[in-house]
Amino acid sequence: MFDMTEDRIKRLDAEARRILQLNDRAGYTVPTSGLYPYQWNWDSAFAALGFAQFDIDRGWSELETLMAGQWENGMVPHIQFHVDDPGYFPGAGIWGTDDAIGKGPGRVPSSGISQPPVAASFALRCYQLDEGAGLERLRALYPRLAAFHRWFFAHRQTADGAMVVTHPWEAGRDNAPDWDSAMAGITPEGVQPYTRRDTGHVNPAMRPTKDDYDRYIWLVQFGRDRKWDQEKLAAENPFRVADPTMTFTLMRACRDLKIIAEVLGEDQAEISGWIERLESGAASLWNEETGAYDSRNEATGEFNHCVTNASFLCWWAGLRDDRSLTVLNRVLDQVRYGVPSFDPEHEKFDGLRYWRGPVWGIMNMMIATGLKEAGHTVEAERIRAATVALISENGFAEYFDPQDGTPAGGGTFTWTAAIWLGWATPSLEEAE
Ligand code: GLC
């Protein structure tokens, strides 16, 4: 299926390992130096998947440092600022979480929001790949993973059981069009003067606009002014969007946590209840008009009519309803390298701008893995082959233009290297 020599595959595997090592800061991995110089939540969990292929101990330790940054209330923050880097904005001082409600003493400086909870899914993968002390390490992580999931049900649940994000950055899809309606409801008054750093590292045409950025910072100040008190934020934050990324990654993570609980002989009743809630939440995100799962602005109760790569995480979540397959195939037919982050037929599609069109390897990995598990091998293999071509032709960039493969964002990117090693590389085929 893959038109590549063994030598070429070996070189790509070696390059992917080199990137993980290059971004390794002894215990945690940065997504890429310069643009993202700290530990990001879901990036770290993907890094664990990559490391687990060749250094299982390092796979575990990645998850261990990630979960060590957990707040007392269970939240695992989206960024942990281990070593200060003035080249990044907004840093720890802007988030102001030192005296945050629920953080607890002695925690690593961090942001005040979370990110899609994929850690349990890759903890299970590490366990499956480990032939040594895996069980003990899994046992040590288990209560933290469970507390993390519990936090979502306490603070991010809609009345239907879907999960909301309280800041675009919480979804991991920072600049997706899903947030436009809720962002339009914010008047960014009182934003203290700031200097962006992202546009000093990469082309501004690929990054969010100033209007969006003002609102990102306004939301950070909004949380900080309330000491990140989740009760107050739930009542007052104008930005609450029910999100397929959060709902589907948590659903998968709960299913994986349930398997972990079974391995450890722990009670599974609470987790089963969570999965049921999420299934009803997912049902509430189905948009008949777009023929796909959608995000919903909780302030208005209205769908955003966005067909995104998050819409197709339904199979990764373990749902076995195939209503989205038609739209998925339509979207795949529009581009050379699926799955684009936004519908190519939509007027807002932009092949190079952050989460408004480009393709991400991590999303492809989750979508294709889910499709394969659901028996949709044709689509699964199509997405995998496209990802292999994309990376082998264009390198380990942060993301790519789905039409012509132009690499964009940061280079030598951890999660692109990680999904290469843990999913895409043709050498896994030979090992099977
Ligand atoms: C961007 C992405 C986010 C990721 C972070 C670090 O903010 O949108 O998903 O976690 O970069 O790679």
Instruction: Encode the chain (432 residues) as per-residue pLDDT tens digits.
Output: 677 999 999 999 999 999 999 999 999 999 999 999 999 999 999 999 999 999 999 999 999 999 999 999 999 999 999 999 999 999 999 999 999 999 999 999 999 999 999 999 999 999 999 988 899 999 999 999 999 999 999 999 999 999 999 999 999 999 999 999 999 999 999 999 999 999 999 899 888 899 999 999 999 999 999 999 999 999 999 999 999 999 999 999 999 999 999 999 999 999 999 999 999 999 999 999 999 999 999 999 999 999 999 999 999 999 998 999 999 999 999 999 999 999 999 999 999 999 999 999 999 999 999 999 999 999 999 999 999 999 999 999 999 999 999 999 999 999 999 999 999 999 998 655
Q: In terms of Cα–Cα distance, which of 71, 79, 116 is closest to 253? A: 116
Q: Please give the distance, rounded to the nearest whole angstrom, from the Cα atom of residue 129 to the centre of ligand 1.
A: 27
Contact 177, 356 (CB under 8 A): yes
Contact 317, 370 (CB under 8 A): yes
Spell out the residues 6+ positions from residue 336 whose beta carbon is closer than 8 angstroms to its own: 386, 402, 403, 404, 405
Closest ligand 1 atom, CA of 171? 9
Closest ligand 1 atom, CA of 43? 10
**DSSP class of 338:** P
Query: Which is catalytic among the residues 24, 212, 398, 401?
Result: 398
Distance (Å, whole) CA 253 – CA 363: 15
Ligand 1-lining residues (CB < 6 angstroms): 31, 36, 40, 42-43, 172, 174
CA 118 to centroid of chain Cα atoms:
7
State the pTM of this model.
0.98
Q: Please give the distance, rounded to the nearest whole angstrom, from the Cα atom of residue 46 to the centre of ligand 1.
A: 12
Q: In terms of Cα–Cα distance, which of 73, 83, 79, 84 is closest to 39? A: 79
Q: For ligand 1, atom 2, which residue shows the shortest CA distance? A: 172
Q: For ligand 1, atom 3, which residue shows the shortest CA distance? A: 172
Query: Which is catalytic among the residues 174, 214, 229, 266?
Result: 174
Q: Mark whether 398 is an active-site residue.
A: yes
Which residue blocks in 207-300 are alpha helix, DSSP H? 210-225, 230-236, 244-264, 269-283
Closest ligand 1 atom, CA of 36? 6
Q: Mark whether 24 is an active-site residue.
A: no
